[in-house]
Amino acid sequence: MAINIITADQPLLVQAIIVYLYADPGLGKTSIGFTGDKAISFDFDKGSHRTGELRRGAVVQVQQWADVANLTANDLEPFNTIVIDTVGAMLESIKTHLMLNSTNKQKDGSLKLKAQGLANNIFKQYVNSLIASGKDVVFIAHASEDQSGDQVIYRPDLGGKNRNELYRIADIMGYLTTVTTGEGRNARVISFKPCPTHHAKNAGGLGGDTGEVWVPDLKTNPNFLADLIKQAKDHINTLTPDQLATMKALEELGNWEQSCTEVQHAGDLQQLTESLDKSHIYYQSMRQMMLQAAKNLGCTFDMNSSRWISPAEFIGINDAQRDDLQAFITERGLDTKTICEHFGIDALTQIEVAQIQSVKQEIDNLAKAGVQA
């Protein structure tokens, strides 16, 4: 039997896609999940009962990790869409499962670092098994609000490399929020176009140029998510593998750049490092973005432990040390303003305690050199 070879300039038929939807509280993301085609919801967040008459699909009320880990292909055969609600609660369920084994816990009851890595691996393996099932998979997450300078940024509330892993594998990712229309009414909208205020991804070409999809009344539009997924598949299936790969790579680069601007400490850098794919077409660019973020934070990479290290905490001189230094300056015929200008600081309290002796030596040198106050 001849092998059916699909060349690079031919479309590659996609039967199932990965959807990543995150939202502010109370906007009906669980209800949207039930509008998928023959949907089954894994209710990790224990909120399906709040959907009322909009609960149109089957539900697995997850009490423990085994409730879903032991499901077989035959169990899932009647369904076309698997909804994980929410993905953050799913990861917590895995961690709770691991804590049943006392060897995975530290003395304070928290998971050991090795067990946290195991939880991440179980999470990734299970996600891969869902994808391999050939069904559409919808990951739902709460939105977290982070501050980056003056900019408020919304992104899925999922920590570490798991968040970056879902960024990578998702075909479409959208942020569900509310906006005020020109008529003064509140309306729900899903934004699939990435921008400085939120992460997104749109290989499915949803929402046209704006990337915005307005959420209708789900009572009269019970197939909203199913239609959205079909539209995304239809678009993806018009693209050649090369076109699709280029589009995804560019979106991943954009989300990576945004993640690099949001890092706040060495832990964020560590998570980025662990999720950086060396085979990515933009690997070198992504690596340089991460290194620049590290430089901006003043973090260094320890080769022995393969971990990012935060800069030493700044400890400035106290009021008594400041008064002593002011007297020291006056005794040498100088004034505080001159000294601050010399060191490029606004106040003496910006001098580190560890540097006070070297600062005094520098002041002595200035006095001997005849610097005038």
- Which range, of 96-100, 110-114, 161-165, 209-213, averages the lowest pLDDT? 161-165
CB atoms within 10 A of CB 2: 4
Report the pLDDT averaged over residues 144-152. Answer: 76
- Which range, of 68-72, 145-149, 340-344, averages the lowest pLDDT? 145-149
Q: Whose CA is closest to 174, among 186, 162, 189, 159?
A: 189
Bridge-based pairing of strands 39-43 and 186-191 is: unpaired
**DSSP bridge partners of 187:** 179
Cβ(79)–Cβ(138) below 8 Å: no
For 152, phi then psi, to 5°, come to -90, 130
DSSP code at position 212: E
Asked if pLDDT for residue 373 goes beyond 60, the answer is no
Which residue did the predictor score with more confidence, 163 or 72?
72
Q: Which long-range contacts (CB under 8 A, 24 or more apart) does 127-132 make?
A: 127/165, 127/166, 127/169, 130/82, 130/84, 131/16, 131/18, 131/169
The encoded tokens of residue 278 equal 């060396």
Q: Whose CA is closest to 199, among 232, 163, 236, 244?
A: 163
pLDDT score recorded for residue 10: 66
- pLDDT tens profile 230-261: 999 999 888 888 888 888 888 888 888 888 88
| List of residues 6+ apart from 296 with CB closer than 8 A | none
pLDDT score recorded for residue 151: 74
- Which range, of 86-90, 93-97, 214-218, 365-369, averages the lowest pLDDT? 365-369
Measure CA 249 to chain center: 17
**DSSP bridge partners of 309:** 300
Cis peptide preceding 96, ω within 30 of 0: no
Q: Across the chain, how many H-helices and E-strands are there?
A: 13, 12
Total-model pTM: 0.72
The encoded tokens of residue 221 equal 């539009």
pLDDT score recorded for residue 8: 63
Confidence of residue 222 (pLDDT cuts 50, 70, 90): very high
Q: Whose CA is closest to 258, among 290, 284, 300?
A: 290
- Which range, of 7-21, 236-250, 284-298, 312-326, averages the lowest pLDDT? 7-21
- pLDDT tens profile 325-348: 999 999 988 888 888 888 888 888
Computed over every residue of the chain, the mean pLDDT equals: 86
Asked if pLDDT for residue 358 goes beyond 80, the answer is yes
Q: How far apart are CA 185 and CA 121, in angstroms?
A: 45
pLDDT score recorded for residue 160: 65
Ranges assigned E (strand) in 44-123:
58-61, 81-85
pLDDT score recorded for residue 190: 95
Q: How far apart are CA 258 and CA 197, in angstroms?
A: 9
Q: How far apart are CA 147 and CA 180, in angstroms?
A: 23
CB atoms within 10 A of CB 131: 16
Query: Residue 64: CA atoms inside 13 Å, Cβ hemisphere, count?
Result: 6
In order of 9, 351, 353, the CA distances from 318 in angstroms are 69, 10, 8
Cβ(119)–Cβ(91) below 8 Å: yes
pLDDT score recorded for residue 33: 93
